Chains A and B, each alone.
Chain A
Amino acid sequence: KAGVTQTPRYLIKTRGQQVTLSCSPISGHRSVSWYQQTPGQGLQFLFEYFSETQRNKGNFPGRFSGRQFSNSRSEMNVSTLELGDSALYLCASSWDRESGYTFGSGTRLTVV
């Protein structure tokens, strides 16, 4: 089966700009979770969407937002970028017995 697809793989943005990242889960999966990975804070949960509804949200400022479309693809948006937003952003598809939560390859965001 096709895996979790994240685009783009790399992004460089300037402080103050905004950015949109995309995640397509495994075909047939209806849930997408987003995580931020940094060397200092590790993997931290951002939010989770199921059937176009946000079911859970982590402790991140309102500059971080997301949405999910009817085809289960999800986007996350970060507005007014700060240097500290530089990170690897990972999304995960719904849990299944064989693979647990499957992660995409991530989007590496660098804010300069």
Chain B
Amino acid sequence: GENVEQHPSTLSVQEGDSAVIKCTYSDSASNYFPWYKQELGKRPQLIIDIRSNVGEKKDQRIAVTLNKTAKHFSLHITETQPEDSAVYFCAAYGSSNTGKLIFGQGTTLQVKP
């Protein structure tokens, strides 16, 4: 069935270092891949997304890469700051599966000052 695997489950970095979170999806029909950040007690918020016809997308300190062949996509955060500490979720969406995002299990990122 549809599945998204996310690694690592926890990640601790020093302020200023880079953080990388990786996801693998199973449904080859997936064509949209958003990343959400969820702070404690708050709603998930979109931080970046990528479509299957694009290999990489950047937005300031955040970038996402997609390898359709390997069914793999990654989130890269550079120059991490303490306010980046949160839980990050990757997700996959297939146009044949209306309105349904398949989420990874989440990565708890801790940025140490």
Kindly identify, within residues 92 to 113 of chain B, every residue whose CB is under 8 Å from any CB belonging to chain A.
97-106
Main secondary structure of the interface of A (DSSP, over half): strand
Binds A, one of B39-47, B61-69, B75-83: B39-47
Known: A100-B46, A101-B46. 9 other contacts (CB 8 A): A42-B104, A43-B44, A43-B103, A44-B103, A45-B101, A48-B100, A90-B44, A101-B34, A103-B44
Q: How many residues of B contact A (CB 8 A)?
A: 20
Q: How large is the interface on A (under 10, 10 to 19, 20 to 34, 35 or more residues)?
A: 20 to 34
Residues of A within 8 A of B106 (CB): 42-43
Interface flags, B42-58, vs A, CB<8A=1, else 0: 11111001000000000
Q: Which residues of A contact B102 (CB under 8 A)?
A: 45
Which residues of chain A in 25-42 are interfacial with respect to chain B, using CB atoms and an 8 Å cutoff?
Answer: 31, 33, 35, 42
9 residue pairs bridging A and B, Cβ less than 8 Å apart: A42-B103, A42-B104, A43-B106, A50-B98, A56-B98, A56-B100, A100-B34, A100-B46, A106-B43
Q: Is B88 an interface residue (CB 8 A)?
A: no
Q: Which of B34, B42, B43, B99 contacts A55 (CB 8 A)?
A: B99
Across the interface, B99 reaches (CB within 8 A) one of A43, A56, A99, A104, namely: A56
Checking A50, A58, A100, A103 against B100 with a beta-carbon cut-off of 8 angstroms, the contacting residue is A58
- The interface residues of chain B lying within 8 Å CB-to-CB of A7 are none
Q: Which residues of A contact B101 (CB under 8 A)?
A: 33, 35, 43, 45, 92, 101
**Within the assembled complex, what's the spacing in Å between the Cα atoms of A112 and B63?**
43
Tell yes or no: B73 within 8 A of A by CB: no
Interface membership of B89, Cβ < 8 A: yes
**B65 shortest CB reach to chain A, Å:** 18
Chain B residues, Cβ within 8 Å of A45: 100-102
Please indicate the chain A residues that have their CB under 8 angstroms from the CB of B42 in the complex.
105
Given the known A-B contacts A33-B99, A42-B106, A56-B100, are A105 and B43 also in contact in the complex, defined by CB atoms under 8 Å? Answer: yes
Q: Hey, which chain A residues are within 8 Å of B105, CB to CB?
A: 42
A86 part of interface (Cβ distance < 8 Å): no
Which residues of A lie under 8 Å from residue B99 when comparing CB positions?
A: 31, 33, 48, 50, 55-56
